[in-house]
Amino acid sequence: MIKLENVEKKYSDGYVALKNINLECKEGEITVLIGPSGCGKSTTMKLINRLIHPTKGKVYINGKDISEVNPVELRRKIGYVIQHIGLFPHMTIAENVAVVPNLLNWEKEKTDRRINELMKLVGLDPQTYRNRYPKELSGGQQQRIGVIRAMAAEPPVILMDEAFSALDPISREQLQDELVELQKNIKKTIVFVTHYMDEALKIADKIVLMKDGEIVQEGSPEEILRHPANDFVKSFIGEKRLNLIQDIPTAAEVMKKKPVTTYPTRGLAESIKMMERRQVDSLIVVNQDNQLQGYISIYDVIRHFRDETKRVGDILERFSHTVGPDALLTEVTRMIDENKLAYVPVVNEEEKLLGIVTRGSLVGFLSDIYPSGDSGVVQQ
């Protein structure tokens, strides 16, 4: 959707604000740019609506090089929310929201309908607030208007520059919640700049951590928390949050490491023998590279047993669910519970089998954490 390619920004005084930035923001996702002040996060965002021009490199929206688009036209198609709200003080709330529709010459009725719809969306009664002026609203209300003003002409892309930073903590959290809720329905491509890690973790689909004009690390909040790339990232995330996440065990910690496996080329009789020997009712099928293929159950094997030409590969079934080694135990148990699974295979990015999480391995893990009465925890 949005792509920055080898972008560099150098100011006339020689200061290099951005060094070779490569970034992609996926459609319908919230990409959060985060970092200490002066790291270039706002600069990066402003490249997208051409408020800042790159010295080198290209910016694409939907595959189109934006340096070839008229900046004024471009900006009308990109929603923009700024930190200090920036509502026009001499215009009513309705007029503020109608700014871009009016610039695009929408019909008055359509604009009016849109204003009412948007105001209701953020819980401000149109009849009460339409004709008020920005300064007659609280900070939180003003920024709600700031957000819907950016959405008014239904732009596919919205840029939010520290949109909630100037608000008090309570309003800020409310607006974050509202944004997450809103995004479920509107599915816009949002680029959000902030310096609050909590905010990023709460709203981001993807976090891009920047420092001194460079991207230090990017990934889902989960990835960043679990695998901070270096000490800077760690310190930026904060000791407390790292400990918090490390308290919840992962699939890799809970899984049974050596499940009974077989290969697609093996015969059925051989498989039954193996099940018998290992006392299991199904086998996990992997290829020569240990990549997960599926599973066979004892029932399938018996059903096809007469047919000597059949091999494991012919009757295997694929798994509907797998998890990565970093999946939190809470996620894994929910998955097992919701889908009534006997077990879930754990695979890495290359689909290689690492182990399986079974109900049995869960119980084993829990009994390690919560020792039974015998080991003398609670005795009356």
Partner 1 sequence: MKDYLLIFADRWNDLLNAVIQHLILSLAAVLLGCIVAIPLGVFLSKTSIHWLRTLSFTITNIFQTIPSLALLAILIPLIGIGTTPAIVALFLYSLMPILRNTYSGFQSIDPDIIEAARGMGYSPRQTLVKIELPLAVPYIMAGIRLTTVYIISWATLATLIGAGGLGQLIVGGLAVYDKPLIFASAVLAMVLALIIDFLLSVLEKSISKRTHTETNQSI
Nearer to partner 1, 73 or 181 (CB): 73
* 84 contributes a contact to partner 1 by CB under 8 A: yes
Cβ at position 136, least distance to partner 1 in Å: 10
Q: Site for partner 1 (CB under 8 A): which residue of 82, 93, 191, 344?
A: 82
Q: Are 215 and 198 in contact (CB under 8 A)?
A: no
Distance in angstroms (rounded) separating the CA atoms of residues 346 and 256 = 9
Nearer to partner 1, 85 or 224 (CB): 85
Cβ at position 143, least distance to partner 1 in Å: 12
Strand bridging mode 157-161 / 189-194: parallel
Amino acid identity at 352: K
Which residues are bridge partners to 347 per DSSP?
Answer: 353
The size of the interface with partner 1 (CB under 8 A), counted in residues, is 26
Q: Are 28 and 201 in contact (CB under 8 A)?
A: no
Nearer to partner 1, 92 or 261 (CB): 92
Q: Site for partner 1 (CB under 8 A): which residue of 83, 142, 176, 250?
A: 83
Residue 163 CA from chain centroid, whole number: 19
Nearer to partner 1, 7 or 150 (CB): 150
Nearer to partner 1, 93 or 208 (CB): 93
Binding mask 48-77 for partner 1 (x = CB under 8 A): -x-x--------------------xxxxxx
Nearer to partner 1, 20 or 102 (CB): 102
* 272 contributes a contact to partner 1 by CB under 8 A: no
Nearer to partner 1, 13 or 289 (CB): 13
Distance in angstroms (rounded) separating the CA atoms of residues 42 and 124 = 29
CA torsion through residues 311, 313, 315, 321, sign: positive
Nearer to partner 1, 79 or 259 (CB): 79
Binding mask 110-139 for partner 1 (x = CB under 8 A): -----------------------x------
* 200 contributes a contact to partner 1 by CB under 8 A: no
- Contact stretch for partner 1 (CB under 8 A) within 98-106, 177-185, 275-283, 324-332: 98-106
Cβ at position 28, least distance to partner 1 in Å: 22
CA torsion through residues 255, 259, 263, 267, sign: negative
Nearer to partner 1, 34 or 158 (CB): 158
Residues 145-174 contacting partner 1, CB under 8 A: 149-150, 159
Distance in angstroms (rounded) separating the CA atoms of residues 177 and 198 = 12
- Contact stretch for partner 1 (CB under 8 A) within 80-88, 233-241, 256-264, 331-339: 80-88
Cβ at position 359, least distance to partner 1 in Å: 55
Cβ at position 82, least distance to partner 1 in Å: 5
Distance in angstroms (rounded) separating the CA atoms of residues 226 and 331 = 15
Residue 268 CA from chain centroid, whole number: 43
Q: What are the structure tokens assigned to 210, written together?
A: 């920047």
Residues within the interface to partner 1 (CB under 8 A): 49, 51, 72-77, 80, 82-91, 99-100, 103, 133, 149-150, 159
